[in-house]
């Protein structure tokens, strides 16, 4: 049953908050944060700054910490509150909770206990960067934070090489951005376009696009470019050896591959269809990976 302020008892509200500029918050989010019984926040002090900026009532008495190190125990407290008919809002330090931020485990457990979860839409760094990048593609793939170690990071990047038509979207911390970009060059080569979106909605917001081969020089040309949280967007690239091969040749190659070793199937397909053998071979290798 909703209260006078529209808040339902025994309900978790997942509230999007600003990613930088404190004015980037919805009226609905402010209403929810004003009216709920408790707020589960990634960092209490950070949440209090948001409350002070918007003169929200009695913030400190209603805030409890919920972060990556205590999410399991904090979730139990939230479920207890919901069981007692209290309303709870979940916020992270910036943006939408549970998206490369704590909160997903809480939401999962709240749903498992049969309580409703209501999203209150708000800012998101990945979508903010995409909207201003000028990149055009039918799809994007949001990865979030890559592994911190170079070897594992390169392996994860290599797994994404066949997502040709997708814009690839990553988050990265300032102290790892140079080594992350170096690994992207090693995996994707120097010609793929990258867009840097840093300090979004803040005073020193920067959105800059270049080829990967130029990216390290650009980052290192000004020490200020290495500061702030990053969204990295890799532009889509053309799928190799697909549009240039006839559908007839693709069909012949597929039939021959079912019965023959790869090289022999490619050779016969080239002789039958007149298609370029190297293009057919590249197509066959691509099909094996996907």
> Please, are residues 64 and 41 in contact by the beta-carbon 8 Å criterion?
yes
* DSSP for residue 235: P
Q: How far is CA 228 from the centre of its chain?
A: 17
Per DSSP, what are the bridge partners of residue 38?
88
Write out pLDDT tens, residues 61-98: 799 999 999 999 999 999 999 999 999 999 999 999 99
Antiparallel, parallel or unpaired: β 230-234 and 193-198 = antiparallel
Q: Give 279's contacts (C-beta < 8 A, 6+ positions apart).
A: 241, 244, 245
Q: How confident is the model at residue 57, as a pLDDT? A: 79
CA 138 to chain centre: 16
Q: What is the pLDDT of residue 102?
A: 94
CATH topology for the 12-123 domain: Cobalt-precorrin-4 Transmethylase; domain 1 (3.40.1010)
pLDDT at 277: 85
Instruction: Report how far Cα 97 is from the mean position of its chain's Cα atoms.
Output: 12
Q: In degrees to the nearest 10, what's the CA dihedral of 12, 124, 22, 52?
A: 20
In Å, how far are 25, 102, 130, 268 from 19, measured between CA atoms?
9, 15, 15, 57
> Which residues lie across from 142 on neighbouring strands?
169
- State how far the Cα of 116 lies from the Cα of 10, in Å rounded to an integer: 8
Fold of 126-234: 3.30.950
Per-residue DSSP letter, 42: S
What pLDDT score does 5 carry? 61
- Per-residue H/E/C for 29-81: HHHHHHHCCEEEECCHHHHHHHHHHCCCCCCHHHEEECCCCCHHHHHHHHHHH
**Burial state string for 113-129 with b = 16 or more CB within 10 A and e = fewer than 16:** eebeeeebebbbbbbbb
- Sequence length of the chain is 290
Question: What is the residue extent of each domain of the chain?
Answer: 12-123, 126-234, 247-289
- Mean pLDDT of each 10-residue bin along the chain, 290 residues long: 72 97 96 96 93 84 93 97 98 94 96 98 96 95 97 96 92 97 96 97 96 97 95 88 69 89 90 86 71
- Which pTM was predicted? 0.79
Which residue is associated with the tokens 């003169």? 55
The 3-state DSSP class for residue 233 equals strand
Distances from the Cα of 137 to the Cα of 157, 197, 237, angstroms = 19, 18, 10
């Amino acid at each position: 049953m909703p209260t006078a302020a529209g808040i339902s008892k025994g309900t978790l509200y997942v509230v999007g908050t600003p990613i930088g500029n404190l004015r980037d918050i919805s009226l609905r989010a402010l209403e929810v944060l004003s009216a709920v019984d408790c707020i589960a926040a990634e960092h209490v002090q950070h949440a209090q700054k948001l409350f002070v900026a918007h003169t929200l009532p009695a913030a400190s008495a209603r805030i409890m910490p919920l972060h990556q190190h205590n999410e399991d125990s904090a979730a139990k407290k939230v479920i207890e509150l919901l069981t007692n008919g209290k309303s709870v809002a979940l916020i992270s330090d910036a943006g939408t909770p549970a998206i490369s931020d704590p909160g997903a485990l809480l939401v999962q457990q709240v749903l498992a206990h049969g309580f409703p979860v209501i999203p209150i839409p708000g800012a998101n760094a990945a979508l903010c960067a995409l909207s201003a990048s000028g990149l055009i593609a039918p799809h994007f793939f949001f990865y979030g934070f890559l592994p911190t170690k170079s070897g594992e990071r390169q392996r994860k990047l290599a797994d994404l090489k066949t997502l040709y038509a997708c814009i690839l979207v990553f988050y990265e911390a300032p102290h790892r951005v140079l080594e992350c970009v170096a690994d992207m060059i090693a995996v994707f080569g120097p010609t793929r376009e990258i867009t840097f979106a840093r300090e979004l909605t803040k005073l020193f917001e920067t959105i800059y696009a270049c080829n990967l081969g130029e990216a390290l020089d650009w980052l290192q040309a000004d020490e200020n470019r290495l500061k702030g949280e990053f969204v990295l967007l890799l532009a889509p690239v053309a799928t190799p050896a697909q549009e240039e091969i006839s559908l007839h040749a693709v069909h012949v190659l597929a039939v021959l591959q079912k019965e023959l070793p790869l090289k022999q199937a490619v050779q016969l397909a080239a002789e039958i269809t007149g298609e370029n053998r190297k293009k057919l071979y590249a197509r066959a290798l691509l099909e094996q990976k996907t």
